């Protein structure tokens, strides 16, 4: 059912039910990299980016890049995997196809059977202090560890917990990986994901203190890159630092394309939300610029949206395109790519049908997406069954209306 709604500046809405129709929209956007928004992240395993490969030898031809994605794509909601989730935020795939989902406000992690949707609580994560936009957020899975980005008493931090992977297993005690990320009532970032290089990446927010984004000595308003143990990753642009890029307002979406390029979704303030192509050491502008500026020293976004149309959280890469979940915008955006640029205008799907959309995760072959709604996060209007994980089928070609 389509949910009509009217939103105020905070993204809250009133809505009623009307006949079901899948909405598709296009925006005029331009190349570049530098804004922000409210978003979410994706864990590895079933949706992990391709493994980094050895560089080609001098005598071998360079690897061929994938062809540009078609300008038009398709989305079909194949069903609901599970429902009744409370403030779901992070989503990570397990070997075998099951999922882990975090509850931001309940401080819990739940295992969801990838076929039946059966929920198995794994327990509450100690030390989480929910409040505002903080709590238990992004998840990632690696080598028998579950990594979590969470808000604690004094900071935001990344921890990891041993997990055997069985439906009846419990999580081990959390071990700190990285501490000292600034916390606030808003703009806590929260997405974590392992890249094709085996390093752990995290999107952080500037907590409403805008100056942190340009301060390379602060972990706020950044994308961070570290080893699985939390040390600065080899090759980082600033020696001895986990900072990978800066000038961000609130990064909640991270994903890699088929060539291993990093993309990030970011909340803007009042004007422009952004999709950015992330390169090490680049300055993405906040708070000096929001959206495309064309100014020396700042990287413009590849795509930008009015905040009422997006407020992006999680992103995933599938079938040659970035798929971006919108909170206030209540829609799923498809952004087709050709290398490091767009190959067509963004398309909007599911507009108003399922309310606020928090996290999107791709399956291994890219033919399906898992999509997490976010109506119980205090800014939605929950209805029966909220919140849920939807099973989507994606394709290329004429848009299905």
Lowest mean pLDDT among 106-115, 225-234, 262-271, 389-398: 389-398
Exposure string for 299-316, b = 16+ CB within 10 A, e = fewer = bbbbbbbbbebbbbbbbb
* Mean pLDDT, rounded, for 77-101: 97
Measured distance CA(366)–CA(269) in Å, rounded: 32
What's residue 57's pLDDT? 37
pTM of the shown model: 0.85
Of 250, 258, 337, 259, which is closest to residue 302 (Cα–Cα)?
A: 337
Measured distance CA(271)–CA(36) in Å, rounded: 10
Cα angle: 359, vertex 318, 284; to 5 degrees: 65
What's residue 226's pLDDT? 99
The sign of the CA dihedral 354, 355, 361, 367 is positive
| pLDDT, the chain, mean | 86
Query: Does residue 21 have a pLDDT over 60?
Result: no
Task: Render pLDDT for 108-158 as a digit per residue (tens, 0 to 9).
Answer: 999 999 999 999 999 999 999 999 999 999 999 999 999 999 999 999 999
* Mean pLDDT, rounded, for 32-41: 34
Neighbour-count burial of 18, counting CB atoms closer than 10 A to its CB (0-12 exposed, 13-18 middle, 19+ buried): exposed
């Amino acid at each position: 059912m389509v949910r009509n709604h009217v939103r105020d500046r905070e993204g809250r809405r009133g809505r009623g039910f009307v006949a079901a129709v899948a909405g598709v929209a296009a925006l005029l956007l331009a190349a570049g990299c530098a804004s922000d928004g409210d978003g979410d992240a994706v864990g590895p395993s079933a949706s992990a980016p391709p493994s980094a490969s050895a560089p080609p030898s001098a005598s071998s031809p360079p690897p061929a890049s994938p062809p540009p994605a078609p300008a038009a794509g398709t989305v079909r909601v194949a069903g609901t995997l599970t429902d009744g989730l409370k403030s779901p935020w992070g989503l990570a795939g397990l070997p075998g196809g099951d999922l882990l989902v975090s509850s931001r406000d309940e401080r819990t992690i739940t295992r969801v059977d990838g076929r039946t949707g059966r929920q198995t609580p794994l327990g509450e994560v100690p030390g989480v202090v929910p409040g505002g936009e903080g709590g238990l957020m992004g998840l990632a899975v690696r080598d028998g560890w579950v990594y979590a980005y969470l808000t604690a008493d004094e900071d935001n931090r990344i921890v990891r917990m041993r997990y055997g992977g069985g439906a009846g297993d419990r999580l081990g005690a959390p071990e700190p990986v990285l501490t000292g990320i600034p916390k606030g009532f808003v703009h806590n970032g929260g997405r974590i994901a392992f890249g094709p290089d085996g390093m752990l990446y995290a999107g952080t927010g500037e907590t409403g203190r805008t100056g942190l984004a340009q301060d390379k000595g602060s972990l706020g308003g950044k994308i961070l890159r570290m080893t699985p143990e939390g040390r600065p990753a080899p090759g980082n642009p600033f020696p001895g630092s986990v900072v990978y890029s800066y000038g961000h307002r609130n990064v909640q979406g991270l994903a890699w394309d088929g060539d291993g390029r990093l993309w990030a979704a970011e909340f803007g303030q009042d004007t422009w939300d952004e999709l950015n192509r992330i390169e090490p050491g680049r300055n993405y502008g906040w708070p000096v610029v929001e959206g495309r500026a064309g100014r020396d020293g700042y990287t413009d976004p590849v795509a930008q949206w009015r905040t009422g149309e997006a407020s992006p959280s999680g992103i995933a890469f599938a079938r040659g395109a970035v798929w971006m979940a919108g909170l206030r915008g209540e829609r799923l955006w498809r952004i087709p790519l050709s290398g490091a640029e767009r190959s067509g205008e963004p398309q909007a799907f599911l507009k108003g049908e399922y309310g606020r959309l928090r996290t999107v995760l791709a399956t291994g072959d890219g033919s399906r997406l898992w999509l997490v709604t976010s109506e119980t996060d205090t800014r939605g209007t929950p209805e029966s069954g909220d919140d849920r994980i939807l099973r989507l089928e994606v394709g290329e070609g004429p848009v299905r209306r």
